[in-house]
Structures are given as structure tokens and as C-alpha cells.
A and B are shown apart, each in its own frame.
Chain A
Amino acid sequence: MQAFQGQLAKLEAADTQVLGISMDSPFSNKAWAEKINVTFPLLSDWGGDTTKEYGLYNQQRKIGRRINYLIDKQGKIAEVQLDSEAIDPTKIVDACERRKLKN
């Protein structure tokens, strides 16, 4: 999430809202946001309904999966970064900036 925070200005300039999401409680998210200085929303998918709906719930280990989606203004998925590729969101930042230039 720190990587997204670092690129937040660029993303906001390219009309992009950043949303973090996990199965943590809002309380855990608040404590963590303060610790790592994250200012964008961290959404609490407590119980995992959304994680399951996206097909990201690991039944065996009872955890989610790391993945970044870029969702365009029509609500369609434009880019995906899975697992370790999701640690550096540069690909998504670049895609947002290209879209901004097109319009």
C-alpha cells in the first residue's frame, strides 16, 4: 500500500481513486493506515464476501490473494497485476496517465 501512497499524486492527477481492500476489520485498517501513513481508503471486507466474489479466497489457508485492478470510468477492468507483480503499481500508474493524455 505504501507504493500506492508514494504514487498517489500522479494517480489523482490522472483522475484515479485508489482503494485498498482486505479482510481486515476497520480497526486494524485504521491502525495500519496510521502506522504506514496511508491516506486513501482501506476497505474492510470483513468475512470475505467481496474477496470470495472476486474469486480470491483461498479456502485452504483462509486468506485472500494480492491483486491490483485498474477499473476504468465505465466500470470495466482495464489492467490486472497479480501476486508479486502487484507490489509495484507502476504499470497501473502509467496506464492511468496514458488514458489522461488520450482524453
Chain B
Amino acid sequence: MRRRTALVLLWILTLALPAVSRLGAQEKKEGPPEPKFKVGDMAPDFTLSDQNGNKVTLSSFRGKKNVALAFYIFAFTGG
């Protein structure tokens, strides 16, 4: 009886093991997102509010000024 139980447990383990090891692999595949646009591409337009409630549209600067667009992660962290 005991030997059969042991064999059943071993069988369950061999079934479970690949699934468990795949969990780790999934974590490793996720990395930082790849930026969609590169040098030479048109920068997608947007309209967003600044800290004073003014709406700012990226395309409004066309023909007038360059834009240095700086994405940061969150206020009060790093720089």
C-alpha cells in the first residue's frame, strides 16, 4: 500500500513539475517595454494638462520650436 502511494505521489510530481518550472520562465520573459518610435519617426500627437491646468498640444509647436519631451516615471522619485 505504502509503495503504491509513493508511486502515485511521484507520478503527480512529474506532471506538476513542468508547469511549476514554466512559472519562473514567464517571469523572466517580461522586461521593460520597447519604445515604439525611434529617430526619423513622427512623434505621436497628444493634448495633456500641465501642472497649472493649461492644455498643451505637442503639434502646436510645429514650425515654431523643437520640443524636448522628457518622460519621467513618477514625481518625487529619482529625477
The judgment on whether A and B are partners is yes
Q: Which A residues fall within an 8 A CB radius of B? A: 1-4, 11, 14-24, 26, 28-33, 35, 41-45, 49-51, 53-60, 63-80, 82-83, 86-87, 89, 92, 96, 99
**What interface size band does chain B fall in?**
35 or more
Q: Are B71's CB and A74's CB within 8 A?
A: no
Number of A-B pairs, beta carbon distance below 8 Å = 188
A1 to B79, CA, bound (A): 6
Given A71-B67, A72-B66, A23 and B74 touching (CB < 8 A)? Answer: yes
Interface pair B56/A43, CB less than 8 Å apart: yes
Residue among B40, B45, B48, B54 facing the most chain A CB atoms (10 A cut-off)? B48
The distance in angstroms between the C-alpha atoms of A64 and B79, with both chains bound, is: 14
Q: For the complex, give the distance between the alpha carbons of A23 and B75 in Å.
A: 9
Interface set of B (CB-CB < 8 Å, partner A) = 30, 32-46, 48-54, 56, 58-59, 61-76, 78-79
What are 9 sample pairs from A and B whose C-beta atoms fall under 8 A apart?
A16-B65, A26-B53, A30-B52, A41-B51, A45-B46, A50-B46, A73-B63, A74-B62, A77-B38
A17, A56, A86: the one contacting B33 at CB < 8 Å is: A56
CA distance A21 to B67 in the complex (A): 12
Determine whether the beta carbon of A14 is less than 8 Å from that of B69: no
Chain B interface SS verdict (over half):
loop
Decide if B33 touches A57 in the complex (CB within 8 Å): yes
Which chain A residues lie closer than 8 Å to B78 at the CB level?
66
The answer on a CB contact under 8 Å between A80 and B33 is no
Partner of A15, one of B32, B66, B74, B75: B66
Interchain residue pairs A-B with the least CB separation, the first 7: A55-B36, A32-B75, A41-B50, A30-B51, A29-B51, A43-B48, A16-B66
Contact B62 A73 (CB under 8 A): yes
